[in-house]
Amino acid sequence: MQTTDVIVLGGGLVGSAVAYGAACGGARIIQLDEGDNALRASRGNFGLVWVQGKGLGLAQYARWSLESSRLWPQLRDSLLEETGVDVQLNQRGGYHICLNEQEVKTRIERLQWLQDHVGADDYPFQILNPADVRDDLPGLGPEVAAVSYTPMDGHVNPLKLFHALHVANQQRGVRYMPCTPAVSIQWQSGTFTVHTPRGQFQAPRLVIAAGLANQTLCAEVGMYVPVRPNKGQVLITERLAPLLRCATNYVRQTDEGTIQIGDSMEDVGYDDMVRAPVNTEIAARAVACFPALRHAKIVRTWAALRIMTPDGFPIYQESEQCPGAFVVTCHSGVTLAAQHALRVAPWVMGGERPPLLDAFPATRFNPDTKFAHYGR
Amino acid sequence: MVANALFVRLPAQRGSDASPPTVSVFLNDTPLALPADTSLAAGLLAAGVTRFRNATVSGAARAPYCMMGVCFECLVEIDGVPSQQACLVRPREGMRIRTMDTLPGMVFPEGGEVRRATRSANGDTP
């Protein structure tokens, strides 16, 4: 039996960001994780720190994402200082590429709704012609009807972020336990006991940030947290000379020259195999955006599974039945990493609860709640 | 062309005293004999080539790392086609190899037309 202040279930970006924030606050932490065969969205994501377009119908999600983008430089700086790892945050703004007039119309409606509900000062956007943005995005093709631009967007190298969080946590004494998945959880007299194939762990606080395992694990502490996988595929090119100054929703160039293209959305259960027809569609759209990409060599492709709630928005909830147990689940572990480290971690350690979290309770769902459909 | 190779070929196995067959290739227009029975990457390393390409962002010298088709560090131009993985290719008689030691890859000029960046006339020979 090992005891500590906080047990974090999940070794991905969400669990690691919360663990980092809690460790910065002085907590002793044990982080339990699966092994290399885990379904790991943290290794498959697109790396955007993105606000634009998010939160249609729930402006608090737009604001929560916006706040995270503003906190991100602080997270970047502390990770760099502690670990020497530069996660390559680039917040020069972001573009969404529209390939026809219908896409432009839909885009304007979406961004206008968000601006009306978040505030014009906080949510500026522009609709621009390809020729207007050639400094940021050279080589947009003739099929591009327009692009939308928001200054608050950007991207990072998500693998460097993942690495930096784990290095920082190790240096701060977080005990990371791979191949030690939680099997069951007991709560008695204010103490959680987590049973794993490699022994038992006890703490008065428990953070459940285990991605697609959240539904099962949360049931152990009396919370209904419905999550389902949604599959995305991406394409990776050979490294190219720096060309794209800003990220787009569909094509971005990493700090190392790679161009990442994607992604798709498919509701296909736990299938995380790459399918060629989907890659064909992804490539065709990328070439419509940037015709020169037809000559780029694709050196890798992969699929990963997003963690989706019925309405697509995150869940932040402390269990009413077992106080001290918290769930943190979302499909934007990169964008929200700064919130998770700097705002959510202090809350789970007993500090102030960010008021915006009122918008993301688990109690908005019940077993009759239908899942929205994402992709085909 | 090379003073000190970082890698040397192991001596032939007992029983095969004949020296290994070689093929004649051109590296940056200079004739070079390479063993026919190893990968192009291994042959070039044994010939002392240390700069296969430049990193696209920093310009730092890069050379083969994984030798098994994964890392894409060993890219060279072969017979006019850029960004070939030297570790996955056998040298062939008459092959024309160029190190990718100036801005490799694509440029995105206005209008979407494409050209490959070309190396400087005086490429950085190994």
- Residues A125-150 have pLDDT tens digits of 999 999 999 999 998 999 999 999 99
Q: Is residue B49 part of a domain?
A: yes
Nearest CA in chain B to A291: B112
Instruction: Determine the pLDDT at residue B57.
Output: 86
In B, which residues are within 8 Å of A240 by CB distance? 56, 104-106
Distance from C-alpha of A164 to C-alpha of A42, rounded to nearest angstrom: 13
Q: Is residue B58 part of a domain?
A: yes
Instruction: Determine the pLDDT at residue B13.
Output: 64
Distance from C-alpha of A46 to C-alpha of A236, rounded to nearest angstrom: 11
**What would the CATH number be for the domain defined by A2-48+159-227+310-364?**
3.50.50.60
Nearest-Cα distance to chain B for A269, in Å, is 29
Nearest-Cα distance to chain B for A283, in Å, is 16
Instruction: Determine the pLDDT at residue A73.
Output: 98
Could you give the number of structural domains in chain B?
1
Reported ipTM: 0.71
- Please name the fold of domain A231-308: D-Amino Acid Oxidase; Chain A, domain 2 (3.30.9)
Picking from A239, A245, A258, A302 by the largest number of B CB atoms within 10 A of its own CB, the best residue to mutate is A239
Instruction: Determine the pLDDT at residue B105.
Output: 46
Provide the pairing of β-strand A228-239 with A258-262. antiparallel
In B, which residues are within 8 Å of A241 by CB distance? 56-57, 103-107, 117
Nearest CA in chain A to B59: A241
Q: Is residue B116 part of a domain?
A: no
Q: Is residue B41 part of a domain?
A: yes
Distance from C-alpha of A153 to C-alpha of A350, rounded to nearest angstrom: 31
- Does the distance separating the beta carbons of B110 and A138 come in below 8 Å? yes
Q: Which residues of chain A have pLDDT under 50?
A: none
- Does the distance separating the beta carbons of A292 and B106 come in below 8 Å? yes
Residue A186 CB contacts under 8 Å (≥ 6 apart), including other chains: A192, A193, A195
Q: Is residue B61 part of a domain?
A: yes
Q: Is the pLDDT of residue B121 over 60?
A: no
Closest CB to B107: pick one of A142, A241, A291: A241
In B, which residues are within 8 Å of A86 by CB distance? none
On average, the pLDDT of chain A sits at 96
Domain CATH code at residue B63 = 3.10.20.740
Residue A123 CB contacts under 8 Å (≥ 6 apart), including other chains: A62, A66, A111, A114, A115, A150
Instruction: Determine the pLDDT at residue A165.
Output: 98
- Does the distance separating the beta carbons of A138 and B109 come in below 8 Å? yes
In A, which residues are within 8 Å of B112 by CB distance? 139-142, 290-292
Instruction: Determine the pLDDT at residue B17.
Output: 59
Q: Is residue B114 part of a domain?
A: no
Question: Are A157 and A107 spatial neighbours (Cβ–Cβ below 8 Å)?
Answer: no
Binning pLDDT at 50, 70 and 90, where does residue B7 land? confident
Interface contact B55, partner A, CB < 8 A: yes
Instruction: Determine the pLDDT at residue A100.
Output: 96
On average, the pLDDT of chain B sits at 79
Q: Is the pLDDT of residue B124 over 90?
A: no
Question: In terms of pLDDT, which residue wins out, B111 or B70?
Answer: B70
Q: Is the pLDDT of residue B119 over 60?
A: no
> How many residues are listed for chain A in this entry?
376
Q: CA neighbours within 13 Å on the CB side: how many for A36?
A: 0
Instruction: Determine the pLDDT at residue A7.
Output: 98
A228: which strand partners?
A308
In A, which residues are within 8 Å of B105 by CB distance? 238-241, 257, 296
Instruction: Determine the pLDDT at residue A67.
Output: 98
Instruction: Determine the pLDDT at residue B5.
Output: 72
Instruction: Determine the pLDDT at residue B16.
Output: 61
**Contacts for A348-356: CB closer than 8 Å, 24+ residues apart:** A348/A6, A348/A18, A348/A22, A348/A205, A348/A207, A348/A318, A349/A6, A349/A22, A349/A25, A349/A27, A349/A205, A351/A25, A356/A60, A356/A63, A356/A64, A356/A67
> What torsion do the CA atoms of A62, A65, A66, A67 make, to the nearest 10 degrees?
130
Structural domain containing residue B66:
22-103
Q: Is the pLDDT of residue B44 over 50?
A: yes
Q: List, for residues A254-272, the tens digit of each pLDDT value.
A: 999 999 998 899 999 999 9
Q: List, for residues A148-187, the tens digit of each pLDDT value.
A: 999 999 999 999 999 999 999 999 999 999 999 999 999 9
Q: Is residue B32 part of a domain?
A: yes
| Domain residue spans of chain A | 2-48+159-227+310-364, 94-151, 231-308
In B, which residues are within 8 Å of A239 by CB distance? 55-57, 72, 105
Nearest CA in chain A to B105: A240
Q: Give the closest residue to B76 by CA, choosing from B47, B112, B114.
A: B47
- Does the distance separating the beta carbons of A138 and B57 come in below 8 Å? no
Provide the pairing of β-strand A175-177 with A146-150. unpaired
Nearest CA in chain A to B103: A241
Q: Is residue B53 part of a domain?
A: yes
Binning pLDDT at 50, 70 and 90, where does residue B2 land? low
Instruction: Determine the pLDDT at residue A136.
Output: 95
> Residue A240 carries which side chain, given as an amino acid letter?
L
Closest CB to A257: pick one of B56, B108, B112: B56
Distance from C-alpha of A345 to C-alpha of A173, rounded to nearest angstrom: 16
Instruction: Determine the pLDDT at residue A312.
Output: 96
pTM (2 d.p.): 0.90
Interface contact B83, partner A, CB < 8 A: yes
